């Protein structure tokens, strides 16, 4: 259940009597650290009030596709991007039929079409409706499109019938939601990841650094752990909690980071997402530097190159599969391609940090991955957590092809 920690779950509530279980499901998801937003159909609101689910989730319940306040910011698209999982519970026969036909006639079905998150349904209906060939055909169609199905269970139903069609209990659904994040593409692999900025001291008070927050690297570490890897995260100074099941090593300077990476080897995969300072002051003053009246308004610092961590690790005879990041403000793909070749990398991840919505300290990212054959793969803008899982899955596929 730890896999639910910090996951973003949109809970879709359809129009069935089992909607009363959605209240308990919200509680279970929150208990395990998930963030929950609720989208209800009109039918769902007939069985349980939006106010109840708002009070439990701590957020307004979304119902209207054409809500003027939400649509000003394209509310359904924002929810679609926000979600790591869209869980529809209860999923009625009607709702499953509309999903199977790709309809977008309310907020929930529109969100399902707009999201690239995992979508899961928890069927809830009368046993005869569940057995009907039309429902079973819709079920198979949804499965063929990658939609996960949680349940149903068998037992007494509200109508008095007994059989398959009961929605799973809240505890079981929370467990299924946690399992949906289980990825094992990196089982048995040691993944070494660098994250955050480095700091290069000028004197005991001042240093040179950059704006990297470490969010992307930490998201990658979490995604790699979810994929079954043993993860070592070497990070510069950041204010982020350590992801679950990740071994963290804190460093300050580029030389510290290289030493920590060397000590953490051997590894199967090296992902260098840290924003490492290229230069450091040649001499670090032992006392705070004072203004020198003889130099006027200027101050000269003699700088020397830092070791290139990525090129060093990727250049070893026992090199791991090596993935670099190119954070650029111009000529993004040209500079990234050059870095891929110069540093002997397997993949380079290009990130346009001039765009404030996906630059340093942002909550979202959009990336282009380039391989040695100069094939480009675009990852559209979404949350860093979601794009990290997409990127780790892509890297794992490439890694497993060469090992």
pLDDT at residue 88 in the model: 97
- Cβ(75)–Cβ(106) below 8 Å: no
- Looking at the predicted structure, is the pLDDT value of residue 84 above 80? yes
Q: Is 321 annotated as a binding residue?
A: no
- Looking at the predicted structure, is the pLDDT value of residue 307 above 60? yes
Q: Is 343 annotated as a binding residue?
A: yes
CATH superfamily of 8-180: Flavin prenyltransferase-like (3.40.50.1950)
- Cβ(261)–Cβ(280) below 8 Å: no
Domain(s) labelled CATH 3.40.50.10300 in the chain stretch across 190-282+301-402
As beta bridge partners, residue 168 has none
Please, which residues have CB within 8 angstroms of residue 313's CB and are 6 or more apart in sequence? 261, 262, 265, 270, 272, 319, 320, 322
pLDDT at residue 199 in the model: 95
pLDDT at residue 390 in the model: 92
**266 prior amide bond cis, ω within 30:** yes
Across the range 252-265, mean pLDDT stands at 96
pLDDT at residue 216 in the model: 94
Q: Is 81 annotated as a binding residue?
A: no
Give the mean pLDDT of the chain. Answer: 90
Q: Is 339 annotated as a binding residue?
A: yes
Rounded to two decimals, the pTM is 0.68
Distance CA 56, CA 25 (A): 10
Domain(s) labelled CATH 3.40.50.1950 in the chain stretch across 8-180
Q: Which single residue is written with the structure tokens 């670090």? A: 284
Residues taking part in catalysis:
159
Distance CA 199, CA 217 (A): 17
What is the tens place of the pLDDT at every residue in 182-240?
Answer: 656 888 899 999 999 999 999 899 999 988 999 999 999 999 988 889 999 999 999 99
Helices vs. strands in the chain: H and E counts, helices first: 15, 19
- Cβ(249)–Cβ(264) below 8 Å: yes
Q: For 190-282+301-402, CATH number?
A: 3.40.50.10300
């Amino acid at each position: 259940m730890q896999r639910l920690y910090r996951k973003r779950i949109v809970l879709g509530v359809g129009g069935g009597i089992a909607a009363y279980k959605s209240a308990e499901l919200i509680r279970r998801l929150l208990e395990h650290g998930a963030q929950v937003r609720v989208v209800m159909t009109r039918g769902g609101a007939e069985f349980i009030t939006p106010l109840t689910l708002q009070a439990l989730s701590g957020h307004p319940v979304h119902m209207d596709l054409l809500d003027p306040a939400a649509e000003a910011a394209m509310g359904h698209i924002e929810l679609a991007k926000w979600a790591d999982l869209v869980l529809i519970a209860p999923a009625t026969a009607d709702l499953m039929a509309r999903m199977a036909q790709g309809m977008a006639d309310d907020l929930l079905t529109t969100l399902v079409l707009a999201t690239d998150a995992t979508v899961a349904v928890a069927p809830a209906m009368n046993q005869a409706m569940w057995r009907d060939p039309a429902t079973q055909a819709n079920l198979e169609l949804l499965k063929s499109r990658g939609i996960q199905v949680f349940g149903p269970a068998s037992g007494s139903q509200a109508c008095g019938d007994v059989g398959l069609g009961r929605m799973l209990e809240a505890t079981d659904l929370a467990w299924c939601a946690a399992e949906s994040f289980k990825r094992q593409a990196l089982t048995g692999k040691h993944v070494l990841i660098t994250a955050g900025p480095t700091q290069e001291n000028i004197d005991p008070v001042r240093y040179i650094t950059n704006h990297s927050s470490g969010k992307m690297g930490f998201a990658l570490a979490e995604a790699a752990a979810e994929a079954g890897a043993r993860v070592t995260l070497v990070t510069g100074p950041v204010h982020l909690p350590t992801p679950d099941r990740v071994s963290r090593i804190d460093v300050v300077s580029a030389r510290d980071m290289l030493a920590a990476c060397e000590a953490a080897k051997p590894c199967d995969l090296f992902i260098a997402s840290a924003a490492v300072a290229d230069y450091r002051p040649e001499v670090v003053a032992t006392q705070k530097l004072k203004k020198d009246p003889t130099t006027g308004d200027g101050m000269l610092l003699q700088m020397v190159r830092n070791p290139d961590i990525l090129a060093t690790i990727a250049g070893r005879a026992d090199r791991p599969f090596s993935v670099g990041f190119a954070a650029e403000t111009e000529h993004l793909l040209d500079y990234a391609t050059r870095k891929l070749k110069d540093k002997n990398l397997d993949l380079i991840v290009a990130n346009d940090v001039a765009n404030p919505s996906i630059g340093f300290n942002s909550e979202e990212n959009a990336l282009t991955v380039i391989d040695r054959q100069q094939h480009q793969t675009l990852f559209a803008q979404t949350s860093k957590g979601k794009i990290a899982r997409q990127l780790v899955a892509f890297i794992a596929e490439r890694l497993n092809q060469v090992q």
